Amino acid sequence: MEITNVSEYEAIAKEKLPKMVYDYYASGAEDQWTLRENRYAFSKILFRPRILIDVSKIDMTTSVLGFKISMPIMIAPTAMQKMAHPEGEYATARAASAAGTIMTLSSWATSSVEEVASTGPGIRFFQLYVYKDRNVVKQLVRRAERAGFKAIALTVDTPRLGRRESDIKNRFTLPPYLTLKNFEGLDLGKMDKTNDSGLASYVAGQVDQSLNWKDVKWLQTITSLPILVKGVLTAEDANLSIQNGAAGIIVSNHGARQLDYSPATILALEEVVKAAQGRVPVFLDGGVRRGTDVFKALALGASGIFIGRPVVFSLAADGEAGVRKVLKMLRDEFELTMALSGCRSLKEITRCKPEETQVAREPLAQLGKGSALLMVCRTYGKKGDDWTSSFSTNKEVLKKNDFPLTKAKRKGEELLQATKAKRNEGNFPVGSLQFLRQQVIAADDDKLL
């Protein structure tokens, strides 16, 4: 059957790949709440399209760190791509070049920086995990530089590996016919089979848990390449990244594979963009599967997005052709979104002022005729466990629908109690959440009565 969207590759990959490999690619950490949320949060953002604008010419080109690319859609680093397809990272590099966009190569690639460079011209970034042995890091960064990589994406959210339960169950390890090619000559290319996740043990053994802001400065002493800090979710860390010399920020929760119950990246984006104040570009990855998602990220201030899983799934399904098709589908969808919303260039993609609400945050008004609105707000306070909850009824809507206020209030109280009880069971994230978030649960009258 014809593939018509990016997400369809996942089912094919699942069929084709050994369970251990598919699970490694697909999983998130622990309850996988953030994994679902990365997608779900996009669905809560709506358009305010404009009409009768001449959209016969659409320009999607942009520049990233001074490099001109064909569209703001780039490839995130995903490890061990030869488990998906024998051509692995070569195929991805070729597909990215053909699409005129950037590929980021993982430290844990199954092809080396030199091998990827040998596939032909292309703008490529190198993703860095900082190992305890700093000589290893120095050598690797130099090799990436020499191989023509244009930037370092420093991953900062992985002092330890997130708990991915299927990897533990499957005793995940790199298949014996493959190596982490960048580390082969350094005797760190193999992964032992262990009694849990082989990758988690490898990380515990090799990756430097003491990594801190000083190291971001140190990195600048060993390379002249620009550094993108990958894994920022807060204004504080956006500021620190810039103060410590980052050339850009990637808002990322590592595809929901590290800290579960961290927010969806699309929800964390605006806070980071605001803090960056245009000093450096801010990018986003996590859950981008549609051209509309790309548009939403740009409207909320991203300079571009990166995709992770769609690449490994399409690679598994159809090698280079699969990755090419993913990039083309996203490009076409993004172009169509621009046309249908009345935007001809990336700079025309904006978030309207609140009174215009180009990007409506909650589709409450869309519950349909006959809906009574009842909202339960969960508020995460600034001081961590300052948790409050309240509900409110929209009187006007209730009146219009002849829905008694007292009944709505009673229902609201019930919902409130249920929410509090859940909180007490520990089902809601409280504690160290640093910023204010409101989540609105809307229920239509069917559910209320």
Ligand X SMILES: Cc1cc2nc3c(=O)[nH]c(=O)nc-3n(C[C@H](O)[C@H](O)[C@H](O)COP(=O)(O)O)c2cc1C
- Interface with ligand X by CB under 6 A: which residues? 25, 38, 76-79, 106, 108, 127, 155, 230, 252, 254-255, 257, 285-288, 307-309, 312
CB of residue 250 to ligand X, shortest distance in Å: 8
Q: 3-state DSSP call for residue 444?
A: coil
- Of 172 and 428, which has the nearer Cβ to ligand X? 172
* Among 344, 285, 413, 298, CA closest to 54: 344
Q: Which residue has the tokens 């620190």?
A: 240
CB of residue 361 to ligand X, shortest distance in Å: 21
CB of residue 417 to ligand X, shortest distance in Å: 35
CB of residue 366 to ligand X, shortest distance in Å: 26
Tell me which residue has its CB nearest to ligand X: 308
What is the 8-class DSSP label of residue 263? P
Q: How far is CA 15 from CA 10, 313, 325, 358, 386, in A?
A: 9, 11, 19, 40, 46
Both tokens assigned to 421: 């009880």
Residues 18-48, buried b or exposed e (16+ Cβ, 10 A)? eebbbbbbbbbbbebbbbebbbebbebbbbe
CB of residue 211 to ligand X, shortest distance in Å: 13
Catalytic residue list contains 254: yes
- Of 24 and 391, which has the nearer Cβ to ligand X? 24
Find out whether 232 and 251 touch, Cβ atoms under 8 Å: yes
Beta bridge partners of 230: 155, 250
d(CA 51, CA 388): 42
- Of 78 and 419, which has the nearer Cβ to ligand X? 78
Can you say whether the dihedral through the CA atoms of 339, 344, 347, 351 is positive or negative?
negative
- Of 261 and 387, which has the nearer Cβ to ligand X? 261
> How is the beta sheet containing 387-393 ordered, strand by strand?
387-393, 374-380, 438-442
**Given the residues 254, 289, 378, 411, the one annotated as active site:** 254
Residues with a catalytic annotation lie at 254
